[in-house]
A and B are shown apart, each in its own frame.
Chain A
Amino acid sequence: MKGNLKVISPLWLFMFFNMLLFSQQLNEDFKIKVSPVFNGEKLQKDDWYVSKKGDSIQFNKVKFYLTDFKFDLAENSQQKIINNTVLVDAFDKKTLLKTLQRPLNKKDSTIQFSLGVSGVLSESGALSGDFDPANGMYWAWQSGYINIKIEGMSPSCPTRKNKFTFHIGGFQKSYPTLRVLSFPIKEYQNEITLVVDLATFLNEIDLKEKHSVMIPGEKASKLADIAVNMFDIK
């Protein structure tokens, strides 16, 4: 038994270090840079912007979830990215750059991810990190994540303090709000800049009529269709 141990121990050590080395080689950094803009202009909290409809607009909260990043490879297989959730706060710099771990295999052609949180996670109780309900992106009275929050003010809104509030979420089959995005990726690319243009969203909304959606349902689902068009890569 003693003799066996002498043989096995160096072997195990060798295998262990090989695994460590190999695992490091298997993954590489993949950076997601998020760039919130309004009609191409950098988005700043409480600055004034004007939409195509002529509405003057200020933003004070823009937050959204990007989840489930993966690559669609040319040979019809998928490559999942590790650590693949991003909770973006447009006015919090540290959330605008996220380094994900991507397996070392660059035969991809498309990067795919979801805008929002899956129904499975919305039914999984109290989660941690980006999914911690303390982030303020979880509905208390009807369980589930708020996929997108866009809040601000505009003189066009006939509301108290001219506020508009769009909380887009809900995972019921009839009114889903999770949307999947995909973009082509050049070979050997290891970062993307994701441009989020709030003008695309506000240009489609008549703030005199529509200024607050804060529950799941048909309206939220329609807003999700508009919101997904805000995203493009550079």
Chain B
Amino acid sequence: MKKAVCFIGGILLLSFIGLKVKKNIFTYPEYWPKPVYDIIKNPVTEEGFQLGRALFYDPILSKDNTISCASCHLQASGFTHIDHDLSHGIEGKIGTRNSLAIMNSAWSDSFMWDGGINHLEVQALAPLTSDVEMAETLENVVRKLDTIPFYKKMFYKAFQDSTITGQRVLLGFTQFTLMLNTYNSKYDKYIRKEVGGEFTAQEKNGLKLFRNNCASCHTEPLFATNKFKNNGLAVDTTLNDYGRMKITQNPKDSLRFKVPTLRNIQFTKPYMHDGRFETLQEVITHYTNGIQQSETLSEELKDPILFTHREKVDLLVFLRTLTDKEFLFDKRFSFPKALITQK
């Protein structure tokens, strides 16, 4: 009798644990470096990811309920704001910087062009509260979400508790952002020697040129480094943006900006922190002919980069192999219909 009670108790306990422990769905290629983000602290569950996805696409996050995160971070353009040199927020207000693409965020140790944000979980606070972006407060977002049964249910599913807090809003966002990973471009298939990854002679030469001239900052496989560099851009006197120095107040950081990823670069135009270049041709020409000398200029750019016209074309062709259409058109990352049908 006791055995039977123990057995049934054990089964019930295991079922209970099974219900509580949800599967972590965050994955990445085994040959990639370990993420900076501590995934054990906030494992990505399907429910948490879907909560973050709903929040990402919901304009309720802005002060006047007009713009969502997706307004400036469109999936098809690598989760950035295409065709705007500077991002704009509520009431048509214009910001001071080009929106960054959101991808492979788990490998970043700081965020924004000046690295002012030191942790992925608090990144969303910046656009949420900026007067020229969403102009809202986290406190008020919590208040608004708390009145909507759809979100009460989503928070319950994600956190086994329907209480909505600022922390949980941010953790939900983080779970969605952590899933926006791109590693299925032609380049990735070439590296993995997969079908569809066969490089042409031109692409191979472009990769060679890239590795010799660009990879020290845009390092494979992420095509980014967690560094801040002055890449020789002249100061735009309408903005007077000195980048990292604003955060550290150290003159050595004058004109240094975060090195962005080059993944999906074909679709993330315009380029640079102030969106001054419309095309990749202009970007390459900047590095070969447009470098402005200054005290904080990156060491890697002190000697001129010399490319022939043909080499420029080869490099450009290679950069297009970083396009990951599976990522750009993955329906799991698109607008969730539940926002219309269930909210």
Residues of chain A having any CB pair with chain B under 8 Å: 122-128, 132-136, 138, 140-144, 172, 174-175, 217-218
Contacts of B167 in A (CB 8 A): 126-128, 132-134
Which of B26-34, B122-130, B235-243, B271-279 is found at the contact surface with chain A? B122-130
Shortest distance from the beta carbon of B44 to any chain A beta carbon, whole Å: 14
User: Given A126-B170, A126-B171: A133 and B122 within 8 A (CB)?
Assistant: yes
User: Given A133-B170, A140-B128, A142-B116: A126 and B122 within 8 A (CB)?
Assistant: yes
Contacts of B117 in A (CB 8 A): 141-143
Contact of A134 among B121, B130, B142, B171 (CB under 8 A): B142
In the complex formed, the residue of B with least CB distance to A143 is B118
Interface contact A142-B247, CB-CB below 8 Å: yes
Interface contact A132-B166, CB-CB below 8 Å: yes
Apart from A134-B139, A172-B249, what are 7 other A-B pairs with CB-CB below 8 Å?
A125-B41, A125-B170, A127-B167, A134-B165, A134-B169, A140-B125, A141-B112
A189 to B128, CA, bound (A): 46
Contacts of A133 in B (CB 8 A): 122, 125, 138, 166-167, 170
A-B contact count (CB 8 A): 75
Residue B120 at the chain A interface, CB threshold 8 Å: yes
Residues of chain B having any CB pair with chain A under 8 Å: 41-42, 112, 116-122, 125-126, 128-130, 137-139, 141-142, 165-167, 169-171, 174, 247-249
Interface contact A217-B128, CB-CB below 8 Å: no
Interface contact B174-A126, CB-CB below 8 Å: yes
A123 to B167, CA, bound (A): 14
Write 6 A-B pairs (CB below 8 A) sorted by A numbering: A126-B166, A133-B138, A134-B137, A135-B139, A142-B116, A218-B249
In the complex formed, the residue of B with least CB distance to A217 is B249
Shortest distance from the beta carbon of B230 to any chain A beta carbon, whole Å: 20
Interface majority SS (helix, strand, loop, mixed), chain A: loop
Interface contact A135-B166, CB-CB below 8 Å: yes
A218 to B116, CA, bound (A): 17
Interface contact B247-A140, CB-CB below 8 Å: no
Interface contact A143-B130, CB-CB below 8 Å: no
A175 to B169, CA, bound (A): 31
A133 to B123, CA, bound (A): 12
> Which of A124, A138, A140 has the most chain B CB within a 10 Å cutoff?
A140
Contacts of A141 in B (CB 8 A): 112, 116-117, 126, 129-130
In the complex formed, the residue of A with least CB distance to B137 is A136
Interface contact A125-B165, CB-CB below 8 Å: no
> Which of A132, A134, A174 has the most chain B CB within a 10 Å cutoff?
A134
Interface contact A125-B121, CB-CB below 8 Å: yes
Shortest distance from the beta carbon of A223 to any chain B beta carbon, whole Å: 16
Contacts of A136 in B (CB 8 A): 137-139
Interface contact B166-A143, CB-CB below 8 Å: no
Shortest distance from the beta carbon of A58 to any chain B beta carbon, whole Å: 23
Shortest distance from the beta carbon of B8 to any chain A beta carbon, whole Å: 17
User: Given A126-B170, A133-B170: A140 and B126 within 8 A (CB)?
Assistant: yes
Contacts of A217 in B (CB 8 A): 249
Contacts of B249 in A (CB 8 A): 172, 174-175, 217-218
A174 to B167, CA, bound (A): 29
A143 to B41, CA, bound (A): 19
A127 to B121, CA, bound (A): 9
Contacts of A172 in B (CB 8 A): 248-249
In the complex formed, the residue of B with least CB distance to A123 is B118
